[in-house]
Amino acid sequence: MRPSPSSHFALRLLARRNLCSCSTTKMGRFTDLTGQKKHSLTVIGQAGKDTRLNRIMWDCLCDCGGKTKVCTGDWNAGRTKSCGCYKSRKGANHPNFRHGLTRTSEYQYRKRLQPRYGLSFEEYELLANLQGEVCAICGREPKGRLVVDHCHSSNRIRGLLCNPCNRAIGMLQDDEVVISKAASYVRRNEVSHVPTQ
């Protein structure tokens, strides 16, 4: 009993779906990929055909010196990027490595500068250099990083302070009169310390 035309067409369609794109040819010929480079791989020659999956395979040389086989479909789609060494590379050796600070508090502080103060990290470093890497009030080097001090009403950046000075003027609500009175109070009650024998 012969299969009906509709079932014959369905079988052909199913077979076509099971084929990889690398089995399709144009005018009976395939594109020679030898010499092409993508990511860390360079095609060095054809590796034959995977008859089980009907795929044309290519021998590829990785930048690390390793070798691997890639089918045409995976090569054209860019799915295979290395011989497998990407997964074993860590830190600065990884191709996607940028700065290595993602999980550090320093990086999180840098990310907050732009949305909170409209200040890039390069501008922050320039301001710190202009201040000599010291607090704009006490003139001391901070134990940690210098923090950005800004006017809470106008959001204007006033300078970089150490954490104690920034907290102090914040506790005094940025009030010049109160800060002046606090300075007068300290001067008025300042006692010279006499070293003990």
pLDDT at 23: 46
144 lies in some domain: yes
Mean pLDDT in residue range 80-91: 75
Closest by alpha carbon to 140, among 167, 160, 119? Answer: 160
**Of the listed ranges 7-11, 142-146, 158-162, 189-193, the one predicted with least confidence:** 7-11
Where does a domain end: 84, 113, 147? Answer: 84
53 pLDDT higher than 60: yes
**Does residue 111 share a domain with residue 60?**
no
**From CA 173, how far away is CA 106, in angstroms rounded?**
27
Strands annotated E in 129-193: 147-150, 157-161
**Of the listed ranges 11-20, 64-73, 124-133, the one predicted with least confidence:** 11-20
pLDDT at 45: 92
Amino acid (one-letter) located at 93: N
Mean pLDDT in residue range 165-192: 86
Question: What's the domain range around 148?
Answer: 105-187
Task: Enumerate the β-bridge partners of residue 68.
Answer: 60
pLDDT at 65: 87
**Does residue 183 share a domain with residue 151?**
yes
The fraction of the chain above a pLDDT of 90, given in percent, is: 23
For residue 83, give the DSSP letter: S
pLDDT at 27: 39
Residue 69's pLDDT band, with cuts at 50, 70 and 90, is: very high
Mean pLDDT in residue range 104-114: 78
**Does residue 131 share a domain with residue 61?**
no
Residue 42's pLDDT band, with cuts at 50, 70 and 90, is: very high
**Does residue 77 share a domain with residue 19?**
yes
Residue 24's pLDDT band, with cuts at 50, 70 and 90, is: very low
Closest by alpha carbon to 110, among 125, 97, 96, 98? Answer: 125
**Does residue 24 share a domain with residue 74?**
yes
119 lies in some domain: yes
- Return the half-sphere exposure (C-beta side, CA atoms, 13 A cut-off) of residue 95: 13
**From CA 41, how far away is CA 155, in angstroms rounded?**
51
70 pLDDT higher than 70: yes
